[in-house]
Each structure stands twice: as structure tokens, then as C-alpha cells.
Amino acid sequence: MKKVCVLLAEGFEEIEALTVVDLLRRARIYVDTAAVADEYMVRGSHGIAVQTEDLFSEVDFEDFDMLVLPGGLPGTTNLGDHSGVRKVIRDFAEKDKYIAAICAAPTLLGSLGLLKGKRATCYPSMEKQISGAVLTGAPVMSDGNIITGQGVGAAIEFALNLIAVLMGDEKAQEIAEAIVYH
């Protein structure tokens, strides 16, 4: 079974995070939500509190095939300020494991040098903060082990892309049809 960890820091974008969790679980992918904080309850950028399964410190990231970084502010900033998160991202990159980031979160990958020469996308006003990437402006972009998304409006397409990467196009199409996504 494929395993994905979605990191939630205070101020995360709720739709980007929960769309991924919901659709991947519909595809029968194991999804763990981990709080990048000292409490299991994490408040999103629009005040929606979400109960996570684990704290960041409790997760054995070796067990996971993919790491997902939702955007939102100050969620992205809080992810980037956490040394453990930066270390896990680097570890995933070194092991060529999948790293998915949407909205503002690709700026974190850029700051770690992981987007140099890669095709990527992010929230349009964040593009100036990413150097070295080939920014496409597409809703979703995959390049090697890095998957990026533009923002809330691309959340379903982003999640379906993650399903396709992990389980194949047929499974992604099955989920798209089940949720009546055209």
C-alpha cells in the first residue's frame, strides 16, 4: 500500500490540504496527517481547526512514499521555519521520493534548491520567490519526483495527479469520475 504524509502547520490552506487527504483516501492510499506543532489540533489560514493523526515528532518518514506540503500563509512560512521539516524534505529529495507542494509551498522547495532546472508552478504572486525553476504557470506540474500545484483552484487536479503518480492514470480517472470531476 502506498503511504503519503501531509504536513499541517498553523496557517495551512485548508482546501489544498483536505482535498488531497480526501481524494487519496478515496483511492485507498494510506494518508497520515502530521501536525508541525506540539498539539494535534492545527488551525488553518481560514480558522478551520483540523485534528491530525500524529505530531511531526511521532512520524517515521522512512515508511512514506510521498510528502505533501499544502500552501497557505503563514502555513508555508511555518513549514519552512521548522528545521525538522526542511531535513525531511531534503531526505526525500536525496532518496528520490515524491515531494508535492501547492500554492506558496513550492517556494520552500525553491529555497532548498530542489527546483533548479525543474518545471514547476506555484501561486502566481509567489513566482518571484522561486529562483532556478522553469515556471510554467500550469495548474499542476510534475517533473521527476517533484509535483507542484498553483493553488486552491487546482486542488482537485493536484490531488488527482498525486493519485496518478502513485496508483496510475486509471485509478485517477476512476476517482475523477466518482466525484464527477470534468
- Measured in degrees and rounded to the nearest 5, phi and psi for residue 34 equal -125, 130
Identified catalytic residue from 67, 103, 152, 156: 103
Active-site annotation holds for 103: yes
Burial readout 123-151 (b: 16 or more C-beta within 10 A, e: otherwise): beebbeebeebebeeebbbbbebbbbbbb
Estimate the crossing angle of helix 155-167 against helix 14-26, to 10 degrees: 40
Q: Is the dihedral of CA 82, 85, 89, 94 positive or negative?
A: positive
> CA 140, CA 149: separation in Å to the nearest integer?
4
How far, in Å, CA of 74 to CA of 136, rounded? 24
Q: Which residues are catalytic?
A: 103
